[in-house]
Structure 1
Amino acid sequence: MNTLHIIGGGMAGSEAAWQAAEAGVPVVIHEMRPSVATFAHRTGHFAEMVCSNSFRSDDDEQNAVGLLHWEMRAARGLIMEMATAHRLPAGGALAVDRDPFAESVTARLKSHPLISTSYEEVTELPSSGNWIIATGPLTSTALAQSIRAATGAEALAFFDAIAPIVYADSIDMGTAWMQSRYDKGETEDEQKAYINCPMTKAEYEAFIDALLAAEKTEFHEGETAGYFDGCLPIEVMAERGRETLRHGPMKPVGLTNAHNPTVKPYAVVQLRRDNKLGTLYNIVGFQTKMKYGAQTSVLKMIPGLHEASFARLGGIHRNTFINSPTLLDDQMRLKSHPHIRFAGQITGVEGYVESAAMGLLAGRMAAAEIKGETLPPPPPETATGALITHITGGAEAKTFQPMNVNFGLFPPIDAKGGRRGRAVRYKAYTDRAKDAFTQWLG
């Protein structure tokens, strides 16, 4: 049987390899790490989580990304299986212990009898064979240039940022307290999954002043990439208005200060557990482009973090993606080179789960083609189908930008009988999607 070659061992490449191999197709994963490093990666493991350690909401009845979790589990996805196996308390979110997660994905892939690995940098688009390019937003310069040459289009790009990680034992728990927003979660661990650092109005104002004045990373002259709105640096949000952070990642709602229950904080900084041991916490929503020296001093202004030690400081990097609505067909194939499929963030989906979902589809579609079959895309009423429909023609090519899964990508629900409440409407979306996805799998 013909072999499927996959360039990139991130979320999308790992899931694509697993799905194709499980369908009986031999797979080779071409991964340039660890011999060729990137700005964000620390290891050579497959499916390494470089930004947040969260797969976001796991609610499959009221949330589009939670529905995507459900669909990937129904399709026996490796990424969701390993994420569930290594989950951490995080309220209603699916947060994972990032290193054991990546190690377990790597072990499962390497132990599969139909999967082999080639550690090398692929610098040019292959001229023949069966290929999936899942190099993610940090595609190597040489390969990105080859893609531009083949497509006749300039690569599109945006800036992405990483949040800092703090050592738990350096957090002052005499000031901070543990609580999930609105005490969300079924167990006590879930209800106390976050560390909260309260701010008074004066502390918040001083923090904003320092944030705006801090030295930031400057980009090269002529750099025109914008930011992805779902991952804005905190200083960019602050520049949009002094109250923006207080209504975003620093909102004080749903929380009661255990040390002073009668006084409502003006703002709250939340930290989420980053590993199973509970020794590391990441600062939620605090992606930043501040330079390291400024970053340390500004973040230590947060009550409870005055003596904080950082396991990793934040940073910013340039991400690349293609104009998929113009370049890809509904089988995720490059129209000008149909032996090549694209999957993951490079296609213009945003987020770990969305990337893995597109890898799942690409792997299944490629395996079907190699076996002489054709696998139709999932119905657009499903979360997976809504994403592939968006990137392969549903989006406006001229304004195409990275997109998280959301109910706005789904065909509208028939609203006969009066205006529906949001909870009822979202439940109708997810019920319809589950039925359609189950039929597609069958």
Structure 2
Amino acid sequence: MEQQPIQVIGGGLAGTEAAWQIAQAGIPVILHEMRPQRFSGAHHTEHLAELVCSNSFGAMASDRAAGLLHEELRRLGSIVIGKADEHMVPAGGALAVDRGQFSQDLTTTLAAHPLVELRRQEISAIPEGIVVLATGPLTSPDLASDLHRFTGMEYLSFFDAASPIIVGESINRDIAFMASRYDKGEAAYLNCPMNQEQYLHFWQELSNGEQVELKDFERESAKFFEACLPIEEQARRGEDTMRYGPLKPVGLSDSRTGERSYAVVQLRQEDKAGKLWNMVGFQTNLRWGEQKRIFRLIPGLASAEFVRLGVMHRNTFINAPQLMLPTLQFKQRPNLLAAGQLIGTEGYTAAAAGGWLAGANAARLALGKTPLSQPPTTMMGALFDFISSASPKHFQPMPPNFGIIPELGKKIKNKRERYGVYRDRSLTDLETWKTSW
């Protein structure tokens, strides 16, 4: 009997990973992507797995939450993390990629797989059969309405924001200096130093900057996600809030003077050629004219040329604790799975992880096998256990973090040492779990 193809809806990170895992399991898959027929408010290209915000997947070190998730996915054969490793650009201790090459390579690779059919069309209703929903936080209105009818629940929402990107040649290198915090790894960040007077002036202007006005329904229903808090919102929380956040000067000194600044704005390389630089932590909802005026107050950026200004958009997600199993199956329809920001995980790597598990389990359903759930002592297992068991009343998007992993059997006061033990346990349990499939 001919195997019916599994349908994956959405060609972002989660959908791309899910489709690849299904095809690698020997099952035909149809990957539906509405671009370029229809674009969301955040996408700019028709490529799969387009990175619409930062180009960073987070810390590389495996004793960091994001880095541990990277390593788990490497060991599971993730195509997203594999391609991220191939297209990495210097970013100190972070895994950052040349976003153009990264998404183009994934598009070419998926399209060339003999079991993957890429269909450029919008899907307005959930199909029959085995389906993976990976439509992301900007699901098209018709499909969102059908999902609402299926679940009987309204979406939850929060606001997400993207940082500006600057042409490297427009940055004054006589002022900005190359360094990574604590001299960790290669000097990969451009740092714009501020003295106290410059910082206070910048803080005041930023605090009073004019934002894009939210629509009534957005203002009433949405919340800011703390990990992507707009820079102007941080400024309004207090004079020193930014100095303890993205403008923290600790661990940075100008090798030309040996001095540490009062505050530092960091720029991270966007592409392999170093022609484009991202303002780290500067996601914003300021009006575009205000962005240019205020951000050019930063020393070294007086003549900054912006290739992309910051934008903010509403992200939507379902109430996963009421609807989902840790296998990423819907409770009321086990052959319907979902992954990515749609289910309330936050971050690129978490989207890839969800895509991996949803894809693997969709393939197992097609093969008549029992779906997998991962040990909660792994970062992947802890993340999906959380989104399926958290309090539905207070559910908010969750990034990978050690706070959701079960405690160790012993107390370890040193945080770095404790995280290292978490890592060792996670990777050991992952390898043991892999042998049980």
State if a TM-score over 0.5 links the two structures.
yes
Contiguous gaps of at least 5 residues in structure 1: none
Q: CA deviation at 1:419?
A: 4.2
- 1:245 aligned onto 2:242: yes
* Counterpart residue number, 1:396: 391
**TM-score, length basis structure 2:** 0.97
Q: Which of 398, 412, 422 is matched with 2:415 structurally?
A: 422
Q: CA deviation at 1:261?
A: 2.2
- Residue identity opposite 1:95 in structure 2: A
Q: 1:42-441, aligned counterparts within 5 Å?
A: 42-60=44-62, 62-126=63-127, 128-185=128-185, 190=186, 192-223=187-218, 224-262=221-259, 264-393=260-389, 395-415=390-410, 419-441=412-434
Alpha carbons 2:412, 2:418 under 8 Å: kept: no
- Residue identity opposite 1:64 in structure 2: A
Aligned residues: 431
Indicate how the Cα distance of structure 1 residues 421 and 208 shifts in structure 2: closer, same or farther if over 3 A, else same: same
Hey, which bits of structure 1, 4+ residues long, moved more than 3 A? none
Q: Deviations over 1:236-288 (max 9, x none)?
A: 111111110111000111111234324x2110000000000100000000000
- Residue identity opposite 1:200 in structure 2: N
Distance 1:233 1:54 in 2: 17
Q: CA deviation at 1:217?
A: 0.8
Alpha carbons 2:34, 2:122 under 8 Å: kept: yes
- Residue identity opposite 2:79 in structure 1: L
Which secondary structure does the structure 1 equivalent of 2:217 belong to? coil
- Residue identity opposite 1:215 in structure 2: E
Distance 1:142 1:225 in 2: 20
Moved more, 431-440 or 326-335: 326-335
Moved more, 343-352 or 221-230: 221-230
- Residue identity opposite 1:242 in structure 2: E
Distance 1:107 1:436 in 2: 34
Alpha carbons 1:170, 1:305 under 8 Å: kept: yes
Superposition CA RMSD, Å: 1.0
Q: Deviations over 1:150-198 (max 9, x none)?
A: 111110110000000000000000011000111111xxxx2x1000001
- Residue identity opposite 1:434 in structure 2: L
Alpha carbons 1:288, 1:314 under 8 Å: kept: yes
Alpha carbons 1:175, 1:259 under 8 Å: kept: no
Distance 2:248 2:412 in 1: 30
**TM-score, length basis structure 1:** 0.96
Contiguous gaps of at least 5 residues in structure 2: none
Q: Deviations over 1:292-338 (max 9, x none)?
A: 01110000000000001001000100001001010112321222333
Q: Percent identity?
A: 46
